[in-house]
Amino acid sequence: MIVLAENHPWPICPIFPSSSMSEEPYISVGDHSEMDALFYYNNVKPNTYLMLDNDFAVMSMVSQGFGFSVFPALMLKSPTFPLAVKEPEISFSREIGLSCAPGKAPLMQHEPLSPSPKTGFQKIFNEWVYKKE
């Protein structure tokens, strides 16, 4: 998803045009991110303005109007900063995998709760990803 300052001119549009990805200042999280695939799929070279190593620093800069950035939708469910979230003109998706030890039940099956961190993580993961909205 593309994030912009709430007062940016584009928030009135539901889609962020591919052409704007090469014109607007881009604030990157690190020097390479899996979110950079968005530029590849839209066939544009970003106009990189800043490169920061912290997601929250990037969101702060974007919320102050220094440019736009790209974040996974899951990270934007409850943003910490006032941001406008837009769909890109040409979207892409990524797969998130989670593995468990051989012989253990798949994530969708419920096992009796145990105090292990792995089981706690599986429970929270299931509740978060599969909850009804």
- Residues 62-87: tens digit of each pLDDT: 999 999 999 888 788 877 899 988 88
Residue 113: the pLDDT is 45
The model's confidence at residue 1, banded by pLDDT at 50, 70 and 90, is confident
Q: What is the pTM (predicted TM-score) of this model?
A: 0.68
Q: What's the rounded mean pLDDT across residues 93-99?
A: 65
pLDDT over 90 (residue 61): yes
Residue 111: the pLDDT is 47
Residues 6+ apart with CB under 8 A from 106: 100
Tokens of 62: 């974007």
